[in-house]
Amino acid sequence: MKVMLIASECAPFIKTGGLADVVGALPAALKKQGAEVSVLIPKYSRIADEYKSCMTHVADFYVNLGWRSQYVGIELIEQDGINWYFIDNEYYFKQDYVYCEGDFEAERFCFFCRAALEMMLMLHLVPDIIHLNDWQTGLIALLLNEQYRVCPEFERVKTVFTIHNLRYQGLMSPQFANELLSIGQHGLSKIEYYSHINAMKAGIVYADTVTTVSPTYAWEITTPMYGETLDGLLSSRTDGITGILNGIDRKSYNPWTDKALCCRYSKNSFTGKYKCKAALQKELGLTEDPFVPVAAVISRLTNQKGLDLVLSALPGLLDMGVQIAVLGMGDRSLEDRFGFLANSDYGRGRIAFRCEMNEPLARRFYAGADMFLMPSAFEPCGLSQMIALRYGCVPIVRETGGLADSVRPYNKFTDDGNGFSFHNYSANELYEACKTAVELYRNDNEAWKRLAARAMDTDLGWDESAKKYLELYHRIDERY
């Protein structure tokens, strides 16, 4: 089976969030299951030169976008049996950013969607399954059904549309979108959204099947609380929404081989983790004490991630003797708040904040911290808690989305579970979950070591998820 994944970002070439990790790791797992896989993303100027130098120019042509005829260059990297394609157009992708806002953002991805379909025709690359990801690719499903089905090459093609985060939906004016893509009144009416059109809705309405990145989130988004005003539409799909939990690359995230760490360790030998903790405390200016629990936050700084709860619970956590280490960038008000606390007399030696996105440093956080805080308001899947598990950094999470699906609450009576969790979006419940964790950490070191070892042993790789995707591909392919 031939599968093409299309997305707005893909690790290691360009990454702003978890979407890139998924699109970067899933192809190899699908190939391992026997699929023939290719990937398509824009060629951003921010892609590192080490990858650009490996690209081969495959073709170039022009597509009509409104009154303009726009250049499309196709670059290719062949690696590990997978073809990674890049759509090149400097007008749309040369900027020093990945995403922006407004009409230009809408136009960039209208172009990307048109160019993707034209590329498949021009290069005879039409697959059996086109796997679309988030709003930036949603219009491909519309264009395929409204315009390209007349081409024999596309007659049997099926589409999967994966929702990674329903909050971002790609709104644009109907007139603007119709001018660019000649959608027509029938198509526009099907994706109308409060006097706009909605690219996320286009994917939901037109794709052959819709998935999301965890079973719990698949249910949550059919409810008003999490459905971002599209819950009725999602509930109306007769085939339902399939939730397939994301995985992580267990080979890349491995504390036994990770070169970013000062010392390696495994679930059977925690000596190296203790050394990583001492090194992290020293690097961050925290009081160097092996008996003080360190709780890490590695996140985009937004209130979606529950950082308002962390700030509310912070005095109680410090009173318990917990050290807090925060790594991330985002909302200026949150950056300022964590920065102020870390540099104040109140937080000195007890709170550390690094306002940056730094992959090696993030790995040192996971390896050096004892606990990982992720009390999200909503979380489609979340990869950070999975990476924390892999490094024996015990997660404390709110029971939502992929957090509920990947973290099993600790049970002291059965000595089971791989983390701690709480249900309501409440700073008090976060505090109580942390208190339970700290008490176990301090009072029963052997139980804590068993808990951390179980966390490291949690199987959150891609093999099982890839198998489920491939079964889904075959199921919809057989509908024809």
CA 230/CA 169 separation, integer angstroms: 10
Q: What pLDDT score was predicted for residue 294?
A: 98
Q: Given a cut of 80, is residue 105 above it in pLDDT?
A: yes
Q: What pLDDT score was predicted for residue 480?
A: 59
Strands 196-198 and 192-193 come out as antiparallel
What contacts 427, CB < 8 A, 6 or more positions away? 308, 309, 312, 313
Cβ-based neighbour number of residue 438 at 10 Å? 19
CA 131/CA 343 separation, integer angstroms: 46
Q: Given a cut of 90, is residue 203 above it in pLDDT?
A: yes
- Identify the band that residue 478 occupies on the pLDDT scale cut at 50, 70 and 90: confident
Q: What pLDDT score was predicted for residue 11?
A: 92
Q: How confident is the model over 82-99, as pLDDT tens digits?
A: 999 999 999 999 999 999
Q: Given a cut of 80, is residue 479 above it in pLDDT?
A: no
- Identify the band that residue 8 occupies on the pLDDT scale cut at 50, 70 and 90: very high
For 184, phi then psi, to 5°, come to 90, 160
Return the SS3 of 159: strand
DSSP 195-246: TEEEHHHHHHHHSSEEEESSHHHHHHTTSTTTSTT-HHHHHH-TT-EEE---
CA 26/CA 35 separation, integer angstroms: 11
Q: How confident is the model over 361-402, as pLDDT tens digits?
A: 999 999 999 999 999 999 999 999 999 999 999 999 999 999
- The whole-chain average pLDDT of the chain stands at 96
Half-sphere exposure of 468 (CA within 13 A, CB side): 16
What is the SS3 assignment for 276-321? HHHHHHHHHCCCCCCCCCEEEEECCECHHHCHHHHHHHHHHHHHCC
Q: How confident is the model over 34-83, as pLDDT tens digits?
A: 999 999 999 999 999 999 999 999 999 999 998 899 999 999 999 999 99
Whole-prediction pTM value? 0.93
The residue type found at 170 is G
Q: Given a cut of 70, is residue 19 above it in pLDDT?
A: yes
- Identify the band that residue 247 occupies on the pLDDT scale cut at 50, 70 and 90: very high
Domains in the chain, CATH or no CATH each? 2-247+463-477 (3.40.50.2000), 271-457 (3.40.50.2000)
Cβ-based neighbour number of residue 414 at 10 Å? 7
Q: What pLDDT score was predicted for residue 238?
A: 85
Q: Do residues 435 and 444 lie in contact, with contact meaning Cβ atoms separated by under 8 Å?
A: no
Tokens 């090194």 identify what position?
279
The residue type found at 288 is E
Q: Do residues 103 and 451 lie in contact, with contact meaning Cβ atoms separated by under 8 Å?
A: no
CA 31/CA 180 separation, integer angstroms: 36
CA 320/CA 434 separation, integer angstroms: 9
Q: Do residues 129 and 158 lie in contact, with contact meaning Cβ atoms separated by under 8 Å?
A: yes
